[in-house]
Amino acid sequence: MSIFDTIREKSEAYAEDTAAVLSHLVRTKSYGGEEGDVLKVVEQYCKQYNFDEVRFDGLGNLIARVGEGSRSIAFDAHVDTVEVGDPDQWTRDPFSGLIEDGWLHGRGSSDQKGGAASMLTAGRILKEVGYTGPYAVYFTFTVLEEDCDGMCWKYLIEEEGLKPDFAVSTEPTSCNLYRGQRGRMEIEVHFKGVSCHGSAPERGVNAAYKAARTVLALEQLNEELKPDDDGFLGKGTVVVSQVHARGPSQCAVPDQARLYLDRRLTWGETKELAVEQVKKLGEGEIERVEVPYYTKTSWKGTEYGQELYFPTWKIPADHPLVLAGVVAHKNLYGEAPLVDKWTFSTNGVSICGLHEVPLIGFGPGDEAEAHAPNEKLRVADLPIAAAFYAALPYNLPQ
């Protein structure tokens, strides 16, 4: 029996355990900045499964390791979730962790505690088969991704010095292999007018009208943005997500206005390009354009921050890490996985986009379940993901 047969059989044997772990994680609420309770649960499982190292970093990320190799690969899952939203849109308790008809229900099941549960089983398997390969295998359970994707890995690399040779994001991919995503950034656009009494608007300059004209120009810009050269990631987008205007009173012409933009960046689009595009289309109307700076205090009490710019990333289809992932899947299941990309953003913006660590994605669950009411995950995905994570270190370049 090959090592891959052993891994697959163990993963399938532990399928119910993996689902039970995921149910436990879903039942443990973990909004951004409040991940301490769920990470203590994860820590207990890491110790139960005899991981070689289990520790917290200064921000509150949990770092676990199996193996002693001189090179390293990191599997990442963020354990924070978005909030529930309108509870009336949920047909079940959002934190039930209920398993029913092949699905596990609850907030965070697909995005992305399913990846975390599968990582725990993968580490358990690697310990049981006595993994001694040339790669130390890190499992990172990270915080604050929903608030500021990649900031946790900015901390891991720049403050903790954990920069692996390769990385895998376990965000949902429907158990396909992903090799890229568009980047994103947030932009504030500010306008100034001159206030006057609302009974004589001709005496003032309406900042809201300036903003409105710019909104229409941004709608046109979104239509004109182009895809990347090879068409893999698709076109960039710009969305006006917030509009604010105010003046001295509700009976006055507003002298201030602000737009908030969500800008998705395809390959070749940069922060500087996106800012300049906005300035140009609002020339004569806009007072200033800014990329905001985000800060937050983690569950561990550490304040950290970064500019809200998240670089685009992709790696070639023939990159050694992509090829290793394809071979690992073939060794386990006899066929190659679909190779694709994410629509949304992940911690890859920091791992690969900013710090240039080669990264692939492979995760249980469907991307469309992320942030949706009645979020759920196919239970059958869990052993597939766990087996893939345990098998990949055996297929990495030696």
Q: What is the pLDDT of residues 218-246, one digit of tens each?
A: 999 999 999 999 999 999 999 999 999 99
User: What does the mean pLDDT of the chain come to?
Assistant: 97
Catalytic residue (one of 145, 146, 269, 381)? 145
- Per-residue confidence band for 282, with pLDDT thresholds at 50, 70 and 90: confident
Across-strand partners of 245? 257
Q: What is the pLDDT of residues 84-139, one digit of tens each?
A: 999 999 999 999 999 999 999 999 999 999 999 999 999 999 999 999 999 999 99
Whether the pLDDT of residue 364 is over 90: the answer is yes
Tokens 């090592």 sit at which residue?
Answer: 3
Active site residue 9: no
**Rounded to the nearest 10 degrees, what angle do helices 36-48 and 114-128 cross at?**
20
Q: What percentage of residues in the chain have a pLDDT greater than 70?
A: 100
Global pTM reads 0.95
3-181+312-395 and 183-296: identical CATH topology:
no
Active site residue 111: no
At 123 the pLDDT is 98
At 1 the pLDDT is 87
Cα–Cα distance, 152 to 144 (Å, whole number):
7
Cα–Cα distance, 224 to 118 (Å, whole number):
41
CA proximity to 332, closest of 324, 342, 321: 324
Catalytic residue (one of 76, 80, 149, 369)? 80
Phi-psi region of 317 (alpha: psi -120 to 50; beta: other; left: phi over 0): alpha
Identify the architecture of domain 183-296 in CATH: 2-Layer Sandwich (3.30)
Whether the pLDDT of residue 363 is over 90: the answer is yes
The domain 3-181+312-395: what is its CATH number?
3.40.630.10
Query: Burial, 156: exposed, middle or buried (Cβ in 10 Å; 0-12, 13-18, 19+)?
Result: buried
- Order across the sheet with 99-100: list the strands: 99-100, 103-105, 376-378
Q: Which helix (H) or strand (E) holds 16?
A: helix 15-27
**Rounded to the nearest 10 degrees, what angle do helices 114-128 and 3-13 cross at?**
130
Q: What is the pLDDT of residues 50-76, one digit of tens each?
A: 999 999 999 999 999 999 999 999 999
Spacing of C-alpha 114 from chain mean position: 13
For the chain, the domains span 3-181+312-395, 183-296
CB atoms within 10 A of CB 193: 21
